[in-house]
Amino acid sequence: MQRNRLEWVVRRSAALAGCAAIGAIQGQPVDFTRDVRPILAERCFPCHGPDAALRQAGMRLDRRESATGRTLSGRVPIVPGDPDSSELVRRVGTADESVRMPPLSSNRAALNPRQVDLLRQWIREGAAYEGHWAFSPPRKSAPPPVSDPSWVRSRIDPFVLGRLDAEGLAPSPEAGAAVWLRRMTLDLHGLPPSWPETVAFGRDAAHRGQRAFEEAVDRALASPRYGERMAMDWMDVARYADTHGYNNDSERSMWRWRDWVIDAFNSNLPYDRFITAQLAGDLLPDPTLDQRIATGFNRNHGINSEGGIIDEEYRVEYVADRVRTVGIAWLGITLECARCHDHRYDPISQRDYYRLFAFFNNQPEHGEAGRVANAAPFIAAPTPSQALRLRALQETVHRLEIEERHALAAWRPGTGDLEALRAPRHPSLPDLSVGCDDGAVPGVSGPACTPTELGGAELGELRSGGDFTLSLWLRADRPQSDAPLFSAIDYDPDQASAVHGAGVQLRLVGDEIELRLSHRFPSYSITVQSQGAGIGPNQWHHAAARYASLPDQTTPRARASSVRLFVDGREVATQVLNDDLQSAASFREPYRIGLENGRQAKRFSGRIDELGVWRTALPERDLREVFESVALPWALQRARSPRERGWLFRALSSESLAGAARRRLFALRRELPTTMVMRELAVPRQTRVLLRGRYDAPGDPVGPGVPEALLGAWPKGQPKTRLGLARWLTRPDHPTTARVVVNRLWQQFFGSGLVRTSEDFGTRGEAPSHPALLDWLAAEFVESGWDVKRLLRQIVLSATYRQASERRPEMRGRDPDSRLLARGPIVRLPAEMIRDQALAVAGLLGSQVGGPSVRPHQPEGLYEGIVVGEAFPGTTWDQGAGEDLYRRSLYTFWKRTLPHPLMTVFDAPAREVCTARRQVTNTPLQALALMNAPVFTEAAREIAGQVLEGASRARARTDALFRLVLAREPLPEETAVMLDTLARLMRSYRWDRAAAGEVAGDAARGPWSLNEWATYTALASLVLNLDEAITKR
């Protein structure tokens, strides 16, 4: 034990030396940003920094003028040029704990001697302050002169070599062509190259050199696999999941947003537009469907549907989540600190925070929402193929309706027709019928009702499933923007109540009707509005709504697709505003005609007649009878206005072609996927500073805005909306956006960014290892029109990226993590790639791009004792079939509170919050998963089949295993191990046919013995388990 600890101390110092390698270069002046500010920020700023509330002794060290001035005690913290007279040096350097800074009570450790020396040197050299590097715009500087210009392949390389020269280090030799191809393909596709690709590329590279490399990159960038791979990393940042999170964690539908991301990368959407679409696609002029789908970025946060939570508390959380995510994703500043108080290290005030908050605080959303489906606002988001079918159907409907109008115009009713129209109808008898036949105002059939509360109108329980039909005639006195027609709903005056707005209601909204079925309005309701119903005032119209539960539902939730609306006897187009109702709604008494209760109760101005409610979903035929029983006598008496003529005409015809086409169109619209989006409230919500960050402690009002002094001015003429914010973020001279983006892309290739803290470019973040390179990349990226593919092409073709990755002994103490980039990257593959690679080399991987998330194999019983009951969709894992079992992991259903174990075992975050980089760990659970998870054992069997088929000699077969999985030939000593293991396994299975059969399973085929199947399956698994297989080198 004692010996171990000693060893440990030694290692620790080695690591310190390693860290120093990226810090000060020996013998050169101290750099404030790189060497000094991190120390001050970490140890001093908490009490002597930007946060005025916590500032001690009125002294601040984050500004030179105050740090070099006299403090309250009369001492001067920093005397430039004279460290010995500087109080700062005395206080941090002393061994006397009673005066030492930081004080013991702060729990911040004393400075080590090296840090004290750095401060001394800095003060001796004049104590120059610099603004924080990340807060001034990136500038392209001339590449430094380098020792070996022939090494340079791209404009990235001089920056890297220049730094190595300064350290007296040489870069590593170039990696072999096959190594580079595997590295590049894993980076750009998330999949390994096939062996034939590797062989062909090796030949091509030998003949054509650079040209071959360039073409290989171009091929990779043109494949749809590229967009999938790029989307993979973005899912963590954007905290994408297929469930809402929190303890109900039920299913949501956001895969249309995920597919938009894949498409955006594949079509190389310029990154500034990638930002703008996600932040403010809905605010662009005439936004396209894609641009609206993109705004789902800001709806990917968790949504809590736990009964009884306080709405505002969680609504505020969602807005804060957007601020945090935008902060990490693009600003590179951890804004969260400023939510409760002024930022301790970075000059972001609490007010700044809430001004950013104000941009995202203006959504028609609720804290408690998302119980069984998407939370409003959402839109129908047809896939491209659905969009095509929609357009075709719309055109057909349009054409047939014109034809129908012509036919109507030409129609002259004959005597027989009139007789038929006069024949009595036999409508089904309603369970509740109100005609107000003793009323004083004339109706469509006898007297009509004026707004009234119905006494004792017992309807009784609706049948299970909640089916019903509601029908009435209405005549509005004047245009009305929103008025109740029939209310069986209780708008309890307490809006926080869990049963506020429970019931059923039909409303008139402008020219449209709206049906509400609700447990709690609006969050837990189905709200469906007609589109183009054209219900004008001063005319009698018939309106009907029908709810018919679907027979084939797998989850118990009610669905908006069960609702149909009819106006004047014809089904009308609808749009769904809310669709998050766990079970059927019931009619709440008292029933009201033209009235409703509640704080915002409205009243219908006009007449209503012939109200009927059925406790069943009437077939359309019956519904037509109901309409015609009133409409035809009425129309026959009228002067045959076009509208009434239409009623008569249609009553005589069987269903027209137009009607059939409309039916198909509506059916298609009902099955469209939806996706959550951002939508601004018409009347903006006033944002206030929240004291201590608490939702119930509002302070001063603030308007939307950005920390302009810190991060650059608001672009002229831009609105103070999310769109303006996007324009500001994508200003060519914005100090952080492009840096943060190129840094995260760099991280994707090298394992860590030039700034390792890729989520934090603030003063507490790590300084860049190659500041001039970061700036050059950022500026170049912006100049290129934010061209991602171009940037990535530059990276993978650079000499820096093309280096071999072997660790050089002389670098071990010097730069173990390769921050100086003296070798190629070594990175354990992310969870998704480990699974995808196994499927790919086994020939199992499905190739479909996009679509709803799928459920491949997951251990049974994983949710047992953990998730909520089955009343919530997304709480059971109904394993898919066919290709769904083998799709890329990007498409695996992501249950936020309990993601697939093959993802979390290999370090994927749960995506409850935005994550900009994953930790990489090395655990026994990973070993177990790779050895035993069915997806890997199945892949091993498939690979065994390939090598058995491909060659007949053992040696050739073990070679093939290496080629398939590792994209290289084995070394002789490796072949020796493989053959030895093969022999041992063969011996072991020889007398155990039963065991061999179990390993081979159903895959066994062809002329090979079970023994061979079992042995090669085990060997294939062995190769899949190699460190090299799951590591990019």
Partner 1 sequence: MTGLRTPVGPSRRNLLVRSAYGLGAAGLHWLAACDSSGLPEETQPPGKAARVIFLFQSGGPSHVDLFDPKPVLARRAGEEIPESVFKGQRVTGMVAHQKSYQAMPSTYAFKPRGQCGMELSELLPFTGEVADELCLLRAVHTDAINHDPAITFFQTGSQLPGRPSLGAWVHYGLGSANQDLPAFVVLHSVASEGPAGQGLLARLWGAGFLPSRHQGVPLRPRGDPVLYLSDPPGISRDRRRIFLDGLSSLNRLASSRSGDPEIEARIDQYELAYRMQASVPGLMDVSGEPDWVYDLYGEAARIPGTYAANCLLARRLAERNVRFVQLYHRGWDHHQELPRRLPVSARDTDQPSAALLRDLKQRGMLEDTLVVWAGEFGRTPYAQGEMRLDDYGRDHHGRCFSIWMAGAGLKAGVTHGTTDEFGFNASSGSVAVHDVQATILHLLGLDHERLVYEYQGRHFRLTDTAGRVVREVLS
Q: How far apart are CA 904 and CA 222, in angstroms?
A: 31
Nearest residue (CB) to partner 1, 200 versus 898? 898
Binding of partner 1 by 923 (CB under 8 A): yes
Contact predicate 833/191, CB 8 Å:
yes
Identify the residue among 165, 431, 907, 969 touching partner 1 (CB under 8 A): 907
**Among the listed residues 649, 227, 577, the one whose alpha carbon sits nearest the alpha carbon of residue 407:** 649
Nearest residue (CB) to partner 1, 593 versus 1023? 1023
Cα distances from 421 to residues 620, 646, 787, in angstroms, run 19, 12, 68
Q: How far apart are CA 274 and CA 59, in angstroms?
A: 44
Binding of partner 1 by 1025 (CB under 8 A): yes
Binding of partner 1 by 770 (CB under 8 A): no
Identify the residue among 418, 550, 681, 928 touching partner 1 (CB under 8 A): 928
Residue 822: is it exposed, middle or buried by C-beta count within 10 angstroms (0-12/13-18/19+)?
A: buried
Binding of partner 1 by 1004 (CB under 8 A): no
Q: How far apart are CA 378 and CA 681, in angstroms?
A: 14
Binding of partner 1 by 759 (CB under 8 A): yes
**Among the listed residues 464, 465, 472, 466, the one whose alpha carbon sits nearest the alpha carbon of residue 430:** 472
What three-state secondary structure class fits 817?
coil
Binding of partner 1 by 209 (CB under 8 A): no
Identify the residue among 160, 543, 782, 999 touching partner 1 (CB under 8 A): 999
Residue 709: is it exposed, middle or buried by C-beta count within 10 angstroms (0-12/13-18/19+)?
A: exposed
Which residues from 38-57 bind partner 1, rule CB under 8 A?
38, 42
For the bound state, the minimum distance from the C-beta of residue 123 to partner 1, rounded and expressed in Å, comes to 21
For the bound state, the minimum distance from the C-beta of residue 970 to partner 1, rounded and expressed in Å, comes to 9
Binding of partner 1 by 110 (CB under 8 A): yes
Q: How far apart are CA 917 and CA 666, in angstroms?
A: 45
Binding of partner 1 by 345 (CB under 8 A): yes
Identify the residue among 117, 165, 174, 336 touching partner 1 (CB under 8 A): 336
**Angle value at C-alpha 185, between 183 and 189, nearest 5 degrees:** 130
In this structure, is the dihedral angle defined by the CA atoms of residues 652, 653, 654 and 656, taken in order, positive or negative? negative
Which residues from 10-29 bind partner 1, rule CB under 8 A?
11-12, 15-16, 18-19, 22
Q: How far apart are CA 565 and CA 551, in angstroms?
A: 19
Which residues from 542-601 bind partner 1, rule CB under 8 A?
none
For the bound state, the minimum distance from the C-beta of residue 813 to partner 1, rounded and expressed in Å, comes to 12
Identify the residue among 145, 655, 859, 876 touching partner 1 (CB under 8 A): 859
Nearest residue (CB) to partner 1, 401 versus 969? 969
Q: How far apart are CA 679 and CA 375, in angstroms?
A: 12
Binding of partner 1 by 1014 (CB under 8 A): yes
Question: What backbone phi and psi angles, to 5 degrees, belong to 692?
Answer: 55, 20
Which residues from 778-797 bind partner 1, rule CB under 8 A?
none
Among the listed ranges 72-80, 81-89, 266-274, 756-764, the one in contact with partner 1 (CB under 8 A) is 756-764
Identify the residue among 200, 901, 969, 1009 touching partner 1 (CB under 8 A): 901
Nearest residue (CB) to partner 1, 267 versus 921? 921
Identify the residue among 375, 631, 905, 960 touching partner 1 (CB under 8 A): 905
Identify the residue among 921, 952, 956, 990 touching partner 1 (CB under 8 A): 921
Which residues from 491-510 bind partner 1, rule CB under 8 A?
492, 494, 496-500
Identify the residue among 27, 285, 861, 1006 touching partner 1 (CB under 8 A): 861
Nearest residue (CB) to partner 1, 520 versus 789? 520
**Among the listed residues 1017, 1014, 995, the one whose alpha carbon sits nearest the alpha carbon of residue 946:** 1017
For the bound state, the minimum distance from the C-beta of residue 342 to partner 1, rounded and expressed in Å, comes to 14
**Among the listed residues 341, 344, 375, 418, the one whose alpha carbon sits nearest the alpha carbon of residue 44:** 344
Site string for partner 1, 671-710 (x = CB under 8 A): -------------------------x--------------
Binding of partner 1 by 925 (CB under 8 A): yes
With b meaning 16 or more CB within 10 Å and e meaning fewer, what string describes 563-577? Answer: bbbbbbbbbbbbebb
Which residues from 302-331 bind partner 1, rule CB under 8 A?
302, 304, 306-311, 317, 328
Residues 6 or more apart whose CB falls under 8 angstroms from that of 216 comprise 181, 184, 201, 204
For the bound state, the minimum distance from the C-beta of residue 422 to partner 1, rounded and expressed in Å, comes to 54
Q: How far apart are CA 424 and CA 319, in angstroms?
A: 60
Nearest residue (CB) to partner 1, 748 versus 757? 757
Nearest residue (CB) to partner 1, 634 versus 695? 695
Binding of partner 1 by 452 (CB under 8 A): no
Which residues from 629-658 bind partner 1, rule CB under 8 A?
none
Among the listed ranges 565-573, 726-734, 736-744, 978-986, the one in contact with partner 1 (CB under 8 A) is 978-986
Q: What is the 3-state secondary structure (H, E, C) of 487-538?
A: EEEECCCCCCCCCCCEEEEEEEECCEEEEEEEEECCCEEEEEEEECCCCCCC
Binding of partner 1 by 32 (CB under 8 A): no
Helix residue spans in 339-433 (DSSP H): 350-359, 384-410, 415-422
Eight-class DSSP state of 465: T
Which residues from 211-270 bind partner 1, rule CB under 8 A?
245-249
Site string for partner 1, 70-109 (x = CB under 8 A): -------------------------------------xxx
In the chain, what is the greatest distance between 2 CA atoms, to the nearest angstrom?
A: 116
Identify the residue among 358, 506, 890, 985 touching partner 1 (CB under 8 A): 985
Binding of partner 1 by 980 (CB under 8 A): yes
Q: How far apart are CA 88 and CA 78, in angstroms?
A: 6
Contact predicate 513/482, CB 8 Å:
no
